[in-house]
Structure 1
C-alpha cells in the first residue's frame, strides 16, 4: 500500500478514472437505450446488474493483463487493401465484430423508432429472457470497449490495483448517472434517434479501427457533443413554444 503515499499514484488514479468515464460515455448511452425497452420497474435494477457484471468482467481482464496483451499479436495476414498493416489480431477481430454488432443493433433500434414499434405491446417472451438479453448486450459491449481502456490503463500505470480502483470508480459513476440519462432519452425520442445515429458512427469507427485504419476520435466526439447541445436547445425551444401555446389558449 506504500504506492498510495506518492502523489503520482493519485494523479494516475484520477487521470485513469477520467479516461474510463470518457471512454464509457458511449456505453452509458447504449445501456440507457436498451434498458428503456424493459418495464419501468426493473430498468434500474437491470442496468445496475449489467454494469456490475461488466465491472467484474473488466476486472478479470485486468487480472489477466498478460493474456489480454497477447490479443494484440497478429493471428493471420490479409491483403493491405483490407487492413492497414496487413495483419489481423484477436483485438482487431473483437473490434471488427463489435463494430458490426453496434451498427446492426443501432440500425434495428432506429427502425423500431421509425416504424413506431413498441416492444411492450408485443407478446411477452418472458421477462427473464428480456432482462437476460439486455444484460448480455451490456456485458458484450463493455468487453468491446474494455480493450481500449485497458491499453490506455497500461500506458498510464503499471499498478494493477490502480487500474482496478479506477474501473470500480468509473462504473460507480456510470451507475449514478445512467438512470438520469436513461430517463432523459426516454422522455425525448428525438434525442434517442440522434444518440442511435452516433452509435452507428461509433460502431463504424470501431470497425475501421479493427482494420488498422486510424480515425481521429476527437473530431467525432466533438461532433457528438455539438449535435447533442443543439438538440437540447431545440428541446428547450419546443417546450417553451408548447408552454406559450397552452397559456395562450387558456
Structure 2
C-alpha cells in the first residue's frame, strides 16, 4: 500500500502539480485580497478562512468527478467555426463576472462611495456574499487547472494532495497580500486592474483565443514591481517630512 512512497515518478508529479496549482492560484489570491478588503479585519480573516475551506472541499469533490470534468470539454454547439463546450461557457461567465466586479469596485473607488463598517446586518450580508464569491471564482479558476492535472497525474491521491498543499499556501499568502492592499490603497486599484486583465484572458480562452499565462503573469509582476518602488518612495518621503 505504501509503494508510492518510494516511487520517484509519483513524487515528481506531486511537485509538478503543486507548483502548477500555486502559480495558477495567483489569480485567486488577487481576487480574494480585493473582495475581503471591504470587510473589517476580523470578518475578513474569517471570510478568507471559510471561503478557502469551502473552495478546497469543492475542488476535491470536482476531482472525484473525473469523468464529468473531462466531459466538460466535449463540444456543445458551433458558432462561426468554433465549437463551444461547458468549459468555455464557464470561463466566459467567470471572466465576465471578474470584469463586472473589477469595474464596479473601480467605480466605487473613483466616486468615493467606498463606505466601510455599517450595521451588523449589512456586514453579515457582505460576509456571506464574499464567501460565495470566493467559492464561485475558485471553481472557475480550478476548471482548467484540474483538467490539466488529470492529464498530468494518474493517481487521484496525488491530485488531492497537490490541491491541499496549494490551497494551504494560498491561504498563507492571501492574508499578507490583503493586509498590504489595506495599508496601501493605491495598490487596490492595481489589483483591480489585474482582475480586469484576468477577466479578459478568461473570456478570450472561452472564445478560443488563448493568451499565454506567462505574458499575463509577467505584466502583473512588472506592474507590481513598479508599484512597490512607488510605495517605498512614498514611505521614504513621508519619513523625511516627519524628521
Equivalent in the alignment of 2:43: 42
1:222 and 2:223 matched: no
Equivalent in the alignment of 1:19: 20
Aligned-pair CA distance for 1:175: 1.3
Matches of 1:195 and 1:214, distance apart in 2 = 22
Matches of 2:95 and 2:219, distance apart in 1 = 19
Is contact 2:39-2:126 (8 Å) kept? yes
Matches of 1:123 and 1:108, distance apart in 2 = 22
Matches of 2:53 and 2:133, distance apart in 1 = 13
- Structure 1 residue matching 2:39: 3-state secondary structure: coil
What do the CA deviations read for 1:33-57 (whole angstroms, capped 9, x no partner)?
1111112222111101000100000
Aligned-pair CA distance for 1:124: 5.3
Aligned-pair CA distance for 1:242: 1.2
- Runs (4+) of structure 1 moved beyond 6 Å? none
Matches of 1:186 and 1:121, distance apart in 2 = 14
Equivalent in the alignment of 2:72: 71
Is contact 2:117-2:123 (8 Å) kept? no
Equivalent in the alignment of 2:31: 30
Aligned-pair CA distance for 1:128: 2.3
What do the CA deviations read for 1:69-101 (whole angstroms, capped 9, x no partner)?
101001111123xxxxx2110000000111000
Matches of 2:124 and 2:210, distance apart in 1 = 40
Aligned-pair CA distance for 1:142: 0.4
What do the CA deviations read for 1:199-248 (whole angstroms, capped 9, x no partner)?
1011001001001111122112101101101110111011101111221x
Equivalent in the alignment of 2:9: 8
- Structure 1 residue matching 2:116: 3-state secondary structure: helix
Question: Gaps (5+ residues) in structure 1?
Answer: 81-85
Equivalent in the alignment of 2:165: 169
Q: Which segment drifts farther, 201-210 or 126-135?
A: 126-135
Question: Gaps (5+ residues) in structure 2?
Answer: none
Q: TM-score by structure 2 length?
A: 0.96
Equivalent in the alignment of 2:105: 109
Matches within 5 A, 1:35-184: 35-80=36-81, 86-120=82-116, 125-184=121-180
Residue 194 of structure 1 is aligned with which of 180, 190, 212?
A: 190
What do the CA deviations read for 1:178-210 (whole angstroms, capped 9, x no partner)?
111110011111111011101101100100100
Q: How many residues align?
A: 242
Aligned-pair CA distance for 1:115: 1.4
Aligned-pair CA distance for 1:118: 2.5
Residue 205 of structure 1 is aligned with which of 190, 201, 205?
A: 201
Q: Which segment drifts farther, 67-76 or 216-225?
A: 216-225
Is contact 2:77-2:84 (8 Å) kept? yes
Q: TM-score by structure 1 length?
A: 0.93
Matches of 1:4 and 1:208, distance apart in 2 = 41
